[in-house]
Chains A and B, each alone.
Chain A
Amino acid sequence: MSGRDPKGSTRRSFLVRGGAVGVAVGLGGALAIDRLRPESTPWDDGRYADPGHSAVAVVRAASYDDHLEATVLDGLRSVGADVRGKTVLIKPNLVEYDPTSIINTDPRLVGAAIVALRRLGAAAITVGEGPGHRRDTDYIVTGSGLWDVLRDLDVPFVDLNVAPVERRALSTSYTSLGELWLPTPVVDADVVLSMPKMKAHHWVGVTLSMKNCFGCVPGRIYGWPKNVLHWQGVPQSVIDVAAAVAPGLVIVDGIVGMEGDGPIMGTPIDAGHLVFGTDPVATDATTARLMGIDPERVDYLREAGRFLGQVHLEDIDQRGEDPEADEVPFELVEEFDGLRVGSAATVGARDASDG
Chain B
Amino acid sequence: MALAFEEDLRDALAAAVGPDGGIGWHPGEAAEPEPTALGALALGDERCVRWLLDHQDPDGGFALQAGSIENVAPTALGALALPDGEARERAVDRTIAAQAARVESRGDYPLAWGWTTTTYSWVEPTSRVLLVARRLRPEDRATIDEAVASLTEREVDGGGWNYGNADVRGTDLKSYAQTTACALIGLHAMDLPIAGRAADAVIDLAPAELGGLSLAQSVVALRLHGRDDDAEVLRSLLASAWERTRFLGDQGALAWAVLATGDGVERLRVAT
Contacts and interface: CB of A to CB of B under 8 A. Distances in A.
Interface string B51-78: 0001100000000111111110100000
A227 B30 contact: no
Contact of B118 (A2, A21, A133): A21
Contacts of B245: 138, 141-142, 147
A222 interface: yes
A289 B118 CA distance: 37
Interface in A132-155: 133-143, 147
A2 B70 CA distance: 22
B176 interface: yes
Interface in B117-137: 117-120, 122, 124
Contacts of B253: 136, 138
Interface string B247-269: 11010110000000000000000
Given A136-B214, A139-B210, A139-B213, A25 B119 contact: yes
Contact of B122 (A20, A147, A227, A228): A227
B98 to A, nearest CB: 11
B118 A228 contact: yes
A265 B214 CA distance: 22
Given A139-B210, A142-B211, A22 B117 contact: yes
A225 B115 CA distance: 10
Nearest to B74: A220
Interface stretch (B19-27, B139-147, B189-197, B222-230): B19-27
Given A224-B163, A227-B114, A353-B103, A16 B119 contact: no
A138 B118 contact: no
Contacts of A38: none
A212 to B, nearest CB: 20
Contacts of A19: 68
B180 interface: no
Contact of A18 (B25, B67, B211): B67
Interface string A229-241: 0110000000000
Contacts of B116: 222-223, 227-228
Given A16-B66, A136-B214, A221 B122 contact: no
B209 interface: yes
B77 to A, nearest CB: 12
A81 B163 CA distance: 39
B137 to A, nearest CB: 24
B152 interface: no
Given A136-B214, A164-B30, A265-B171, A224 B122 contact: yes
Residue among A24, A98, A139, A227 with most chain B CB within 10 A = A139
Contacts of B252: 162
Contacts of B69: 18, 21, 177, 181, 221-222, 228
Contact of A3 (B22, B163, B213): B22
Interface string B1-42: 000000000000000001110101110111110100000000
Q: Which of A6, A137, A220 is most buried by chain B, counting CB atoms within 10 A of its CB?
A: A220
B115 A227 contact: yes
Nearest to A352: B168
Given A4-B30, A16-B67, A228-B69, A136 B119 contact: no
A321 interface: no
A98 B162 CA distance: 13
A333 B124 CA distance: 30
A162 B30 contact: no
A221 B213 contact: no
Contacts of B115: 219, 222-224, 227
A77 to B, nearest CB: 33
B211 A137 contact: yes
A138 B119 contact: no
A138 B209 CA distance: 10
A351 interface: yes
Given A3-B30, A137-B248, A227-B116, A177 B211 contact: no
Instruction: Kindly list the 3 A-B residue pairs having the minimum CB-CB distance in the complex, ordered from nearest.
Output: A139-B211, A223-B115, A138-B211
Interface of A: 1-6, 9-11, 14-22, 24-26, 98-99, 133-143, 147, 157, 159, 162-165, 167, 177-179, 181, 202, 219-225, 227-228, 230-231, 261, 265, 333, 351, 353-355
11 contacts: A11-B31, A26-B101, A137-B250, A221-B71, A223-B115, A223-B116, A224-B122, A227-B122, A231-B119, A265-B171, A354-B164
